[in-house]
């Protein structure tokens, strides 16, 4: 099984600041990596797939990057609606999720 | 608005069975693979099972393999999860979601709101 490790567990950011979330995989996942945002009481929302392709309707301030076993999600200028938990997911070998990074506001 | 609505959750005793359903509205269903993902309240996401666009290919997590069966009926825009041999650790909110493509093992673009399954004596 491909193990996903996200860091940090919690990220406290001020509105307007840049946020960078990390996701490491225990083996290479090629280009098969996605990011999701989940707010309390809601279903997850797909942000990024294929490492760097934004899902329809996702603002340009969200960007994904990386390769091999190290990936990042960057929110260029955090908005108030961006709080929540962010999960990375690999779908190269079966499907596994990271444990999540909680983004909250300073 | 594209909608997926899950149903069939409830309280069941250990060893019991339950069948979850997911109905799609105002979205293309038959061309896309589908998935079930579960989440213990307050915890992370756990993938459960995938089915490709026509039902010819399925996949399961090790934790449910042999106990759960995924299926679909494209004519009724419906996805199912037959769960048997339920255990306390199966207690979770179960989401259905549509993939971004026709094949299994993919990203999940559209999600339902989930149906709660509680396994307890």
**DSSP for B64-97?**
TTTTEEEEEEGGGTEEEEEE-S--GGG-EEEEEE
Q: Which residues of B fall within a CB distance of 8 Å from A49?
A: 100, 106-107, 109
- Joined together, the tokens standing for residue B104 give 């299994």
* pLDDT over 90 at B1, yes or no: no
Closest CA to B106 of B47, B63, B62, B64: B47
Contact A43 B107 (CB under 8 A): no
Tokens of A54: 């934004």
Cα R_g (chain B), whole angstroms: 13
B73 pLDDT band, cuts 50/70/90, is very high
- pLDDT grade, residue A106 (50/70/90)? confident
Q: Are A32 and A49 in contact (CB under 8 A)?
A: no
d(CA A8, CA A53): 23
| CB proximity A83 to B under 8 Å | no
Phi, psi dihedral angles at B20 (to 5 degrees): -95, 145
Judged by a CB distance cut-off of 8 A, whether residue A64 touches chain B is no
A23-77 confidence digits (pLDDT tens) = 999 999 999 999 999 999 999 999 999 999 999 999 999 999 999 999 999 999 9
CB-based contact A56:A2 (threshold 8 Å): no
């Amino acid at each position: 099984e491909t193990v996903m490790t996200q860091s940090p567990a919690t990220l406290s950011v001020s509105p307007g600041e840049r946020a960078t979330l990390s996701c490491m995989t225990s083996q290479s996942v090629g280009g098969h990596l996605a990011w999701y945002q989940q707010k309390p009481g809601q279903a997850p929302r797909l942000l990024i797939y294929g490492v760097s392709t934004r899902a329809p309707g996702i603002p340009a301030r969200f960007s994904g990057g990386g390769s091999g076993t190290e990936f990042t999600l960057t929110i260029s200028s955090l908005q108030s609606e961006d709080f929540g938990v962010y999960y990375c997911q690999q779908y190269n070998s079966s499907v596994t999720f990271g444990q999540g990074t909680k983004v909250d506001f300073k | 608005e594209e909608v997926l609505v899950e149903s069939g959750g409830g309280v069941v005793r250990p060893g019991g069975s339950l069948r979850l359903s997911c109905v799609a509205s105002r979205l293309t269903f038959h061309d896309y693979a589908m998935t079930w993902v579960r989440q213990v309240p307050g915890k992370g996401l756990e993938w459960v099972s995938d089915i490709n666009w026509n039902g010819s290919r399925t996949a399961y997590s090790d934790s449910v393999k042999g106990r759960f069966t995924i299926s679909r009926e494209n004519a009724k825009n419906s996805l199912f999860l037959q769960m048997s041999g339920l255990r306390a650790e199966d207690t979770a909110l179960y989401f259905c979601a549509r993939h971004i493509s026709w094949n299994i093992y993919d990203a999940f673009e559209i999600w339902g709101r989930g149906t709660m399954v509680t396994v307890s004596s």
